[in-house]
Amino acid sequence: MTTTIALPAASKSSFFSFVALLLGAAALALGGVFLRHSELPPTASAVYRVALAIPIFFLLDMLAARAEPMPAGVQQAARQPAPGIPFKLILVGFIFSGNLALYHWSMTLTTLANSNLLANLAPIFVVLGSNIFLGKRFKRGFLFGMLFALTGAFILIGHRLDFGSNYMAGNLLGLLTAVFYGSYLLAVSLVRSNYRTMTVMAWSSVGTLIILLPITLLRGESLVPHTMQGVLMLVALAVVSHVGGQGLIAYALAKLPAAMSSITLLIQPVIATVFGAYLFHEYLSATEFVGAVIILAGIVTARRFS
3 state SS of 33: helix
Q: What is the pTM of this model?
A: 0.85
Residue 153 reports pLDDT greater than 90: no
CA dist 262 and 267 (Å) reads: 10
The helix/strand/coil state of 300 is helix
- Pick the range with the lowest mean pLDDT from 5-14, 103-112, 289-298: 5-14
> pLDDT at position 276, please?
72
Inter-residue contact 291 to 156 (CB < 8 Å): yes
- How much of the chain, in percent, has pLDDT values that exceed 90? 53
Mean pLDDT of 86-101: 94
What is the 3-state composition of the chain as percent helix, strand, coil, each rounded to the nearest 5? 75, 0, 25
Mapped onto helix, strand or coil, the DSSP state of residue 15 is: helix
Helix (H, G, I), strand (E, B) or coil at 287: helix
Degrees to nearest 5, angle at CA 189 with 177 and 254:
135
| Whether the predicted pLDDT of 11 surpasses 80 | no
Q: Work out the burial of residue 13: count CB atoms within 10 Å of its CB; fewer than 13 is exposed, 13-18 middle, 19 or more buried.
A: middle
Q: Which residues of 97-125 are buried (b: 16+ CB within 10 A; e: fewer)?
A: bbbbbbbbbbbebbbebbbbbbbbbbbbb
Is the model more confident about 103 or about 93?
Answer: 93
| Predicted confidence (pLDDT) at residue 289 exceeds the cutoff of 80 | yes
Find the helix packing angle between 122-134 and 140-157, rounded to 10°.
150
Question: Among the listed ranges 55-69, 79-93, 140-154, 258-272, which one has the minimum average pLDDT value?
Answer: 79-93
pLDDT at 285: 79
Query: pLDDT tens digit string along 224-268?
Result: 999 999 999 999 999 999 999 999 999 999 889 999 999 999 888
Whole-number Å distance between alpha carbons of 102 and 96: 10
Stretch 280-288: mean pLDDT: 74
pLDDT of residue 282: 64
Q: What pLDDT, on the 0 to 100 scale, is given for residue 120?
A: 81
Where is pLDDT greater, at 279 or 206? 206
- The mean per-residue pLDDT over the stretch 150-179 comes to 83
The highest-confidence range among 1-15, 144-158, 173-187, 269-283, by mean pLDDT, is: 173-187
Q: What mean pLDDT value characterizes the chain? A: 85
Confidence of residue 69 (pLDDT cuts 50, 70, 90): low
- Return the pLDDT at 4: 47
Q: Is the dihedral of CA 188, 192, 194, 199 positive or negative?
A: positive
Alpha carbons 184 and 190: distance in angstroms, whole number = 10
Q: Confidence class of residue 117 from pLDDT cuts 50, 70 and 90?
A: confident
Identify the pLDDT of residue 3: 47
| DSSP 8-state class, residue 158 | G
Dist. CA 27–CA 17, nearest whole Å: 15
Q: Which range, of 67-81, 115-129, 260-274, averages the lowest pLDDT?
A: 67-81
More confident residue, 289 or 48: 48
Summarize pLDDT for 168-192 with one digit per residue, the tens.
888 888 899 999 999 999 999 999 8
The CA distance from 291 to 299, in Å, is 12
